[in-house]
Structure 1
Amino acid sequence: MDFKNIDLSSLTKLENLEKLEFDNCEGFTYEHCNIFSKKKFQLKEFKLWHDDLDVIYDSDNVYDQLGINLNVIVGMIITLGGVSLLKLSLNIITSETIKAVKDSCPKINFLHMRLISSKHLNSIIPLICDLSLLKILHIQMDPDEIMNGNNGNNGNNNNNHNGSNQLVEILGDHLITVEYLYLNVDVCLSSFKYFTNNSKVNLKKWIIPYDESLRKDYLICVNNYQKIHNSLKVLGIDESEDGFCWNDEELEIIDSLKSQGIDVVPSNRFIKSFY
C-alpha cells in the first residue's frame, strides 16, 4: 500500500494503541514523521515492512534506487518506537536504522529483520548484537539473491562465501544476549562451524539451517557447541514429509544431544515464536 498521499493523523487519536503494523507498505514522508512526533506513542510491537524490496538486491544505493528516504525511515522508528517498544520487525536494515533502534528503543527484546544486502554487515551486525536486552532474534536473508565474491571476514578459506556466510561468522564474534535464534539463511558448513566454535552466546532455542547432504556434520557442530555451553534446550530442524529419516550416524549424534538435555523437534513446531 502506498501512503504517499494518505493522512495518518487518525493514528494519533488511538490512546491505547500497543501494536502497529505497516506490512508491505511504501510512500512514507516527512509529513508522516511530523504527525507521529506530536504524540507520545506507547507501542509494544511495531512492524515496518517496506514494499518492493524484492526488486533490487545487493546493489549500491539500493534504497535510493527504490526511492526510499532513509531519514524518513529513521524518523518513523524514532517517533513510533520508544522505551515501551519490546518487539520490532524491520526490513530496511542499515547502520542508521539500527542506531535509531538502539537509541530510541532501549527495551527491545525481540527483533525480526530481513536483509536485502550483504554490504556493510561488519558495521550493522555488531550494532544489533549491542542491543542489551535482545533475547529473540530472527534473521532472514534470501540466499539466491544476495551473493558477494568476498571470503568470510575471519580468514575462512571457503571461496564460495556469500553474504549469509559472512553474516553468520560476524554473529559468532559478537552475539551475546540472545536466547532464541532463528537463522533463516543458507550457510555453508565451514561458516556454521565457525559460529559454533567461536560463539559466546548461550542459546536456549535454536532453529538451524543446514545442507541436507551434510546434515550429520551440522549436527556434530551443534553437539560440540552444547558440550561447551550446556544451554540449549530445543533444537529446531526442518523435517521432510517422510519425517527426519535419520541414518545410523545421525541417530548416534541425536542420542548425544538428547543426553545433554536437548529436545530435537521439527522447526515448524515453534517457528511462530519468531514472528
Structure 2
Amino acid sequence: MKEFVIFLDHGSYNLPDISNVTTYSSGIANLKYLEVEIMYDIRWQNTIKILSILSKVCNGIVRFKLWMLQTNKENITPILDIIKSQPINNMSIHYTPTYEYLEEIIIYISKFRSKTFTRLIFNRANFKKINFLLISKLKPLEYLKIIYCNNFTVKHCEEKEFNLKGLTWFHGKTDNDLLQVIVMINSLCSETLIELSSNVTTFETMKIIRNSCPNINILKFDLLRYFEYFTNNCKANLKKLSINLYSGNPLRKNFLKCIDNYQRVHNSLKILEFKQYEINWSNEEREIVKSLENQGICLKCLED
C-alpha cells in the first residue's frame, strides 16, 4: 500500500477494527502518501486507533495532506505523532478555522521536520497568533503556497529569511489591505525564486519581480494590464508563462504582441499557457500566434 485516505464526516463510517491493520502492517509500513480529511468533530475510536498506529508501523510517509474543517484534541494527537515520526517533506494544510491546532502543527513541523520539509501549503488557514518565525526556520523549504488564508499580516513576514524556489500567493480580499499584501510578497521573494504564482497584480508587484526575482522562469499571473511594462523591464529569461486570457478581452492582441517582442529579445520562453485558450483568433492574432509558434513556443490550455 502506497496511499491511504481517511475521511471523517457525518456520512462516513468508522474504520474496521485495528487488528485488520496490524495484521497487514508489513504492507501499510510502505505507505508514502497519507490524506486525512476531518470535516466534523467526530470521535470514531477505530479510526483514531488506526491513525495512532500509523506513526508506529510506518517509516516512510513523505506526503501528508490534512483537512480540518472541525476537529478535537483526540483526533489531533495522532496527527502530531505522525508529523513527529515520519520523514514528511511535502505537507498541505487545508481549512483550519481555529488557530490553536494549527499552532500545534506548526510547532511540531518546526521541531521535528526542520531538516526534511521542502514543500508546504496553507489553504484557507487561520494565522491568528501564529508564529511564522517557526516556518522561516525550515531551512530546506523551497516551495510555499499561501492560498486565501485569514489573519496573515505583515508581521508574519517581517525580518524573516526565506530562500524559496517557488511561491504561490492567492489573496481573497479586495479592500485597502492590498498594500500590506504587496509588502508580504516582497518579503518572501529573493534571487532564489524561479516560480511565482499570484492573483495580486499591480505595478508594484511587477516591480518586485523585476528587482527581486532576476532568476524567475515560471510565472503565473493575471497581468494583462501591466504586461507591456513587465516585458519592457523584465530581466529574467522566462521559460513558462501562465495567464488568464478571457474571450473578448480587448487587450488580447496587445498581450500577444508583447509576448512576441519579449521572445524576440530573450528567446527563452518554451510554454505559454492560457486559462481559456481560444481557437477563434482574429486574423491579426493568428499571425502573432504563428510567429510565437515559429519561435519555439508551445501554446496550451492552463491546467486548474
2:98 corresponds to which residue? 67
Percent of residue pairs bearing the same amino acid type: 22
Give yes or no for contact 2:217–2:236 (8 Å, CA) kept in 1.
Answer: yes
Mark the CA change 1:218 to 1:50 in structure 2 (over 3 Å): closer, same or farther: same
Indicate the SS of the match to 1:42: coil
Choose the corresponding residue for 2:119, options 87, 92, 100.
Answer: 87
Question: What is the TM-score of this pair, normalised by structure 1?
Answer: 0.63
Report deviation, 1:96: 6.4
Matched, 1:115 2:148: yes
Residue 177 to residue 209, structure 1, CA distance change in 2 (3 Å): same
CA shift digits 1:69-107 (9 cap, x unpaired)? 463353254256443333332224979676544421525
Aligned to 1:233: 270
Q: Which residue does 1:12 correspond to in 2?
A: 55
Deviation at 1:126, TM superposition (A): 11
Task: Using the TM superposition, give the Cα deviation of residue 249 of structure 1 relative to its aligned residue in structure 2, in angstroms.
Answer: 2.2
SS at match of 1:165: coil
Q: What corresponds to 2:174 in structure 1?
A: 147
Change (3 A) 1:33 1:83: farther
* 1-structure distance, mates of 2:282, 2:130: 47
Task: Summarize deviations over 1:166-193 as a string: whole Å, max 9, x none.
Answer: 484344443344443333xx44513x44
Conserved 8 A contact 1:168-1:195: no
Distance apart, 1:223 and its partner CA: 2.9
State the distance in 1 between where 2:147 and 2:107 align.
19
Out of 215, 220, 237, the position equivalent to 1:182 is 220
Q: 1:209–1:141: structure 2 CA closer, same or farther, 3 Å change rule? A: farther
**Separation in structure 1 between the aligned mates of residue 290 and residue 159 of structure 2, nearest angstrom:** 35
Q: For 2:260 and 2:232, locate their aligned partners in 1 and report how far apart those are by CA, in whole Å.
A: 11
Higher-Rg structure is 2
SS in 2 for 1:47: strand
Letter in 1 for 2:213: L
Higher alpha-carbon deviation: 70-79 or 254-263: 70-79
Secondary structure at the residue paired with 1:39? helix
Q: 1:126-145 counterparts in 2 under 5 A?
A: 130-132=162-164, 134=165, 136-142=166-172
The 3-state SS of whatever aligns with 1:189 is: helix
Distance 1:197 1:93 in 2: 38
Question: Is the 2:117–2:138 Cα contact (8 Å) retained in structure 1?
Answer: no
| Length, aligned pairs only | 235
Contact 2:83 2:113 in 1 (8 A): no
CA contact (8 A) 1:173 1:195 kept: no
**Structure 1 partner of 2:282:** 247
Structure 1, gaps ≥5 residues long? 52-65, 155-162
In 2: Cα distance, 1:232 partner to 1:115 partner: 30
Decide which structure has greater strand share: 2
Checking the alignment, whether the CA contact within 8 Å between 1:33 and 1:76 is kept in structure 2 is no
| RCO higher in structure (CA 8 A, sep ≥6) | 1
Question: What RMSD over aligned residues (CA atoms) do the two structures have, in Å?
Answer: 4.3
Mapped partners of 2:295, 2:126: distance in 1: 37
Contact residue 168 and residue 187 of structure 1 kept, 8 A: no
Cα distance change of structure 1 residues 251 and 226 upon mapping to structure 2, 3 Å threshold: same
Letter in 1 for 2:287: E
How far does residue 247 in structure 1 lie from its aligned partner after superposition? 1.1
